[in-house]
Amino acid sequence: MSRLLARLLGRLPIGWLQLVHQRGRFAAALSGVAFANVLVFVQIGLMSSMGASTLRPYEFFQGDILISAADANTLTDGGNVARQWLLQALADPDVVDGMGVFVAMVPWDRGETDISLTTFGIDPFRTNFLAPEIAADVDVLQLKDAAILDRLARGLTREEAAAIRLQTPLSFETQGRTLTAYDTFAGGGGFGGDGYLLVSDQTFLSLFPARSSGAPDHILLQLRPGAEPDAVADRLKLLIADSTLRIRSYADAMDEEVRFQQTQRPTGVIFGFGVLIGVLVGIVIVFQVLSADVADHLREYATFKAMGYGQGFFLGVVIEEAVILGVLGFIPGVIAGWGILTLMATVTTLPLFISFEMAVIVFVGTVVFSALSGMIATRRLAAADPADLF
Amino acid sequence: MEDVDISIQTSALNHYFGTGEARKQALFDIDLQIERGSFIVMVGPSGSGKTTLLTLLGCLREIQEGSVTLLGQELRNATAAQNVRMRRRLGFIFQAHNLHQSLTAQQNVLMGLQVKGHLNQALSDKAAAHVLSLLGLAERLDYLPANLSGGQKQRVAIGRALVGNPDVVLADEPTAALDWETAAKVVDLLKQLGQARGTTTMMVTHDNRILDRADRILTLEDGRLVGDEDRRS
Ligand SMILES: Nc1ncnc2c1ncn2[C@@H]1O[C@H](COP(=O)(O)OP(=O)(O)OP(=O)(O)O)[C@@H](O)[C@H]1O
Ligand SMILES: [Mg+2]
């Protein structure tokens, strides 16, 4: 290692030699950096899984434009949209088809655990609005009180989910009715609900008698191939008399919700703070260690100054130490972070993992922030006056 | 004096410590000319200004009044960068060894060489090992300072000062930690370097046996140069 660094630096690897000479401090510094890394990994893992799980229900559908109520910050929030606007939207030459989507939370008493399913009411005859893997199975929704259940829902075991099929359906009581799941699909637990449920709009309205078929929660539009969703959305804003409605491309709707979840919802903000705290913890630890190290070596550094070494040399030594701490601390950090996220993923069924991109960003961030802390730590070097050595 | 090569020259050199009421003059009107390759010993009671003069000659303190010409270059008003460059041509031996605790004997000596820029690693290693063997430490190359005796550490520090072939060696009581035999060896080495390479040595010491080997003895008292004895003739 010494030889390699000497090659790399073109000088004695003083920083490395200094670090390994004080094993206790070195180990403490490495665990500090690793700890900061774990914090950051867990937080951005949660954040990115929040992004992914926020977008998950959007993937059940196929559409180009989504019309929602003004206060519908998410798919499940906010008021509803009058169906008359769907008819009006169809007047635009680029709009070829439209469907109302109903959504509500449906509680399911599972004995020891009560879970809550995000339930979509859709038109089972309009399979063109559904993702192909879902569209293939929705025929059964034409049956009264039929449902397709999320096989990844929390509180449902793999075996239970696997057993659900047309011949052996699973029935359960909710909202004073008996729903029967004849099939399953891959949804996934999110931050808002424990899983998903698909029913027909008819079944949805019988579960929620207060809702009306004339006012779904969202309107999904499909455009003529080649049409520009943003341009059409702009035209629809003029065409549709209710100016409070949110009319935007499906892609924009997805972006808006992710941004909302990450910046407006407490969970998102907390994850953001978690990342900040992780970074701060890392900076403080590296700074503490390096400035203590500089303070311990003031006499040696003063001697080197007397011998003719300049500021650049000392900066180089401290940055060498910082980069070593960053690189070597990252390794246990990424391993522990991965372990913790994997464990959390099994417990929560959230898509929690460290992507290659995340790892690269955190690695670069760790090294850059370590180097910055190191630079700040060299300020104590000014106290090394070679004239005091004689 | 006409044809002699001068490596250190001072004229009307004064130095003060502190400001205002506390201002105190440590050196008064020092005029000196030191020949290249000579072995100079400086003596004087405690507080007479010996160390102060060494730090001025070593570009470690700013020249306040008067002039110092070192190796043909005026130090008065020199920039920080000029001082750093000049210091690379000097060898410092301090009273305390000031070795880096995390570096081996050989690595400490290498630091004296590396300051000159990027050098071939194998050659540098060899040069450092050679200097240490001249100082009787051939068997101790890979020892950390913690595992060396006081005298051995001081010899490593001397090796570090000499490995880069300095033009001027400035030493402040360097032999205090050494037994006479080793001290004599170090003095002989410095005198040899003076003959062979023109290395000038300015050493503060109270050891009479070293005084006997000096080319010239300077005596400071209360910040004034009160004695200047040429021993060669
Ligand atoms: N950094 C300083 N600040 C203030 N006064 C100083 C400083 N260094 C030296 N002095 C004063 O300058 C005078 C000369 O000190 P110097 O250290 O040069 O003496 P010296 O001859 O080396 O003494 P010694 O034999 O004890 O080492 C002394 O009066 C000392 O108190
Ligand atoms: Mg002194």
B26 C-alpha to ligand 1 centroid (Å): 7
The phi and psi torsions of A125 (rounded to 5 degrees) equal -90, -10
pLDDT given at position A110? 83
CA-proximal residue: ligand 1, atom 25 (nearest): B46
- Closest-CA distance, B3 to chain A, in angstroms, reads 31
| SS3 state at A149 | strand
Partners of A321 on chain B (C-beta within 8 Å) are none
- Closest-CA distance, B203 to chain A, in angstroms, reads 12
pLDDT given at position A382? 81
Q: Is A3 on the interface with B (CB under 8 A)?
A: no
Q: Is A14 on the interface with B (CB under 8 A)?
A: yes
DSSP A230-241: HHHHHHHHHHSS
CB A278 within 8 A of CB A33: no
List the one residue out of B30, B35, B25 whose CA is nearest residue B11: B30
Partners of A310 on chain B (C-beta within 8 Å) are 81, 84
pLDDT given at position B2? 45
Q: Considering only alpha carbons, which residue of chain A is nearest residue B93?
A: A390
Closest partner residue to B51 (CB to CB) among A306, A308, A390 is A390
Closest partner residue to B95 (CB to CB) among A6, A11, A390 is A390
List C-alpha distances in Å: A43 to A33, A269, A350, A363, B231: 15, 11, 13, 15, 78
pLDDT given at position A65? 97
Q: Considering only alpha carbons, which residue of chain A is nearest residue B203?
A: A390
Closest partner residue to B60 (CB to CB) among A10, A17, A386 is A386
pLDDT tens-digit profile, chain B (233 residues):
445 699 999 999 999 999 989 999 999 999 999 999 999 999 999 999 999 999 999 999 999 999 999 999 999 999 999 999 999 999 999 888 899 999 999 999 999 999 988 678 889 999 999 999 999 999 999 999 999 999 999 999 999 999 999 999 999 999 888 899 999 999 999 999 999 999 999 999 989 899 999 999 999 999 999 999 998 86
Q: What pTM did the predictor assign?
A: 0.79
- Neighbouring C-alpha atoms within 13 Å toward the C-beta of B169: 36
Q: Is B119 on the interface with A (CB under 8 A)?
A: no
| SS3 state at A107 | strand
CA-proximal residue: ligand 1, atom 28 (nearest): B47
Q: Considering only alpha carbons, which residue of chain A is nearest residue B157?
A: A303
Q: How far apart are CA A313 and CA A12, in angstroms?
A: 11
Pocket test for ligand 1, best of B15, B17, B53, B170 (most atoms within 8 A of CB): B17
Q: Check CB contact under 8 Å for B98 and A389.
A: yes
Condensed to tens digits (0 to 9), the pLDDT of residues A107-129 reads: 998 877 888 999 999 999 999 99
Q: How far apart are CA A185 and CA A160, in angstroms?
A: 13
Q: Considering only alpha carbons, which residue of chain A is nearest residue B86?
A: A308
CA-proximal residue: ligand 1, atom 17 (nearest): B51
Tokens representing B210?
A: 């070293």
List the one residue out of A94, A64, A76, A95 whose CA is nearest residue A218: A76
Mutation pick from B106, B111, B144, B154 vs chain A, by most beta carbons of A within 10 Å, is B111
pLDDT given at position B118? 67
Work out the angle between the directed axes of helices A229-239 and A250-263 (0-180°, nearest 10): 90
Q: Which residues of chain A have pLDDT under 50?
A: none
pLDDT given at position B233? 67
Q: Could you say which ligand is closest to the alpha carbon of residue B172? A: 2
Q: Is B123 on the interface with A (CB under 8 A)?
A: no
CA B81 to chain centre: 20
Q: Check CB contact under 8 Å for B92 and A306.
A: yes
pLDDT given at position A264? 84
List C-alpha distances in Å: A134 to A138, A155, A185, A388: 6, 22, 7, 79
SS3 for A184-198 is EECCCCCCCCCEEEE
- Closest-CA distance, B2 to chain A, in angstroms, reads 32
Mutation pick from A4, A12, A19 vs chain B, by most beta carbons of B within 10 Å, is A12
Q: Check CB contact under 8 Å for A17 and B107.
A: yes
Neighbour-count burial of A360, counting CB atoms closer than 10 A to its CB (0-12 exposed, 13-18 middle, 19+ buried): exposed
Q: Which of ligand 1's atoms lies nearest the C-alpha of B54? A: 18
pLDDT given at position B109? 97
Q: Check CB contact under 8 Å for A306 and B103.
A: no
Q: Check CB contact under 8 Å for A6 and B101.
A: no
Ligand 1, pocket residues at CB < 6 Å: B 17-18, 26, 44, 46-52
Residue extents of the structural domains in chain A: 2-54+266-389, 70-244
B46 C-alpha to ligand 1 centroid (Å): 8
pLDDT given at position A53? 86
Q: Considering only alpha carbons, which residue of chain B is nearest residue A297?
A: B100
Tokens representing A47?
A: 């954040």
Q: Is B167 on the interface with A (CB under 8 A)?
A: no
pLDDT given at position B106? 97
Q: Check CB contact under 8 Å for B103 and A310.
A: no
What's the complex ipTM? 0.92
B51 C-alpha to ligand 2 centroid (Å): 4
Q: Check CB contact under 8 Å for A14 and B103.
A: yes
Closest partner residue to B102 (CB to CB) among A21, A302, A308 is A21
Q: How far apart are CA B35 and CA B216, in angstroms?
A: 10
Q: How far apart are CA B214 and CA B226, in angstroms?
A: 17
B63 C-alpha to ligand 2 centroid (Å): 18
Closest partner residue to B102 (CB to CB) among A17, A387, A389 is A17
Q: Check CB contact under 8 Å for A390 and B94.
A: yes
Q: How far apart are CA A324 and CA B183, in angstroms?
A: 42
